[in-house]
Structure 1
């Protein structure tokens, strides 16, 4: 089965590309702007026809959470309309769409890990646009797997972990919020899970499922920052602060732990604790992997 990965220059797309290069598999095609605009239906149709695509993995997304509050049209164009285009093309081609979504579809008011069927109540434009993208896929009715994730980081691109490493080298101390709780997700682990799911697809079945995936465990951003400094041998002190001391254009969900029982049971996945994966990623950076 030929597989198209959109948003291939991002964190998850880069990890999927690396995974396939190591495996030496054929039939995987990677595209990003300017290779392919997922909001351009004719372009997506042409690629899927020419490459005889049987599955698409949509890693393309507008992920600038704060900027989305003022760049509303762009966020919805990519996160909702782009998802709808991919779903429509997938349905016409009889292909499967695996779409990556986010914990930001929830408002963080829960006191237990979020299940897939919990009500979506986004707090900002980014979360709302991602939620409407999910709903567009469901309403169009293509064969689909939606995978929500949280706190994504990797050796590629810009993310919280790499920011902490940079600040840890530049400053004697930093303040990091301790009242936002969730679970980091190493993009390499998520990429491995996605590949495993695609490998186990039943070609005779049409899918319509939503799953949650992150690493195991629960922590605050303060906990992650502290672990980064300790693991990297940096002397920078991490000071716990409350969210109101670090105001942002959009309110982050104070609690966004995801329940992963469904994805583990359905696909037989084993998921590492977030600390284990963080140490692996930091070792990869020390060995020169990833980019700035």
Structure 2
């Protein structure tokens, strides 16, 4: 199976490249190969490579910067996936695109189901939601996979930030009123491949799905687990989001109901504590 991946050095794209094998041939496109600010070029890349499936693991993910750069975020998060989905629909091949919990309002404490009404509170969330809508409208073989709190040994993410700050400081204040499920990029990549393979033979399973790690917890509690696992003696003090203002509003409730994903593809929520162990091993933690 030949899989074309948009994205090359991002967290999920890096893990997808690691899955390259005789059975799954991964071709990952960097910006020089397919610029997401040029949607037509993205569609052309699909036609040129003639893959069996396409995974969009690239996005405008600078959440705060998007507030002042909405036009670029719109092109990358909405227009480019739209062009990709149309090209895949024309070739009748599966298209899997990664989305986010930011498409929801973040209100309440009930896990969000795929069919729940979206209500993004940021430019990033809005452009990702608009991308989802565009993908659905193409009517092809598709899966929008919403995830949350992505972590890995690559790129920029909460685990790596905590390891760096924890080594530099004796104490940190961390937001404790945002609740969600940390999700390993490796597990997301594996889920994307399984979903793409399924859609080859079962196009009727096209739809929007959720995939996040378990159990749900706050950023502050996640930091405590990271420090404990890495043997870093850094104390954590809980603070509300209001004490840490950012240009883009973060969802307080990022809990995700992943039962539809498990029913359709047999993919259960991964235990992020296992993912964290693998990440720390890759990063050579705990240090001697």
TM-score (norm 2): 0.94
Structure 2 residue runs without a partner (length 5+): none
Q: Deviations over 1:73-111 (max 9, x none)?
A: 111110011111111211222222101000000011132
Q: Which residue of the partner structure matches residue 214 of structure 1?
A: 212
Distance 1:264 1:256 in 2: 19
Q: Deviations over 1:203-258 (max 9, x none)?
A: 36355311000112110000111111111111111111111111111111111100
Q: Which residue of the partner structure matches residue 256 of structure 2?
A: 258
Residue 7 of structure 2 is aligned to residue 7 of structure 1: yes
Distance 1:144 1:200, change over 3 A: closer
Q: Which residue of 39, 48, 51 maps to 2:49?
A: 51
Distance 2:72 2:41 in 1: 19
Q: Deviations over 1:270-290 (max 9, x none)?
A: 333222221221122118xxx
Distance 1:285 1:270 in 2: 26
TM-score (norm 1): 0.93
Q: Which residue of the partner structure matches residue 76 of structure 1?
A: 74
Q: Which residue of 64, 67, 71 maps to 1:66?
A: 64
Q: CA deviation at 1:41?
A: 4.4
Q: Deviations over 1:162-220 (max 9, x none)?
A: 00000001111111000111110010111111122223334363553110001121100
Distance 1:51 1:207 in 2: 25
Q: Which residue of the partner structure matches residue 129 of structure 2?
A: 131
Deviates more, 1:122-131 or 1:243-252: 243-252
Residue 7 of structure 2 is aligned to residue 19 of structure 1: no
Distance 1:89 1:177, change over 3 A: same
Distance 1:245 1:110 in 2: 20
Q: Which residue of the partner structure matches residue 159 of structure 1?
A: 157
Q: Which residue of 193, 201, 216 maps to 2:199?
A: 201
| 3-state DSSP of counterpart to 1:132 | helix
| 3-state DSSP of counterpart to 1:210 | strand
Root-mean-square deviation (CA, aligned residues, Å) is 1.8
Distance 1:244 1:270 in 2: 34
Q: Which residue of the partner structure matches residue 183 of structure 2?
A: 185
Distance 1:204 1:221, change over 3 A: closer
Q: Which residue of the partner structure matches residue 241 of structure 1?
A: 239
| 3-state DSSP of counterpart to 2:53 | strand
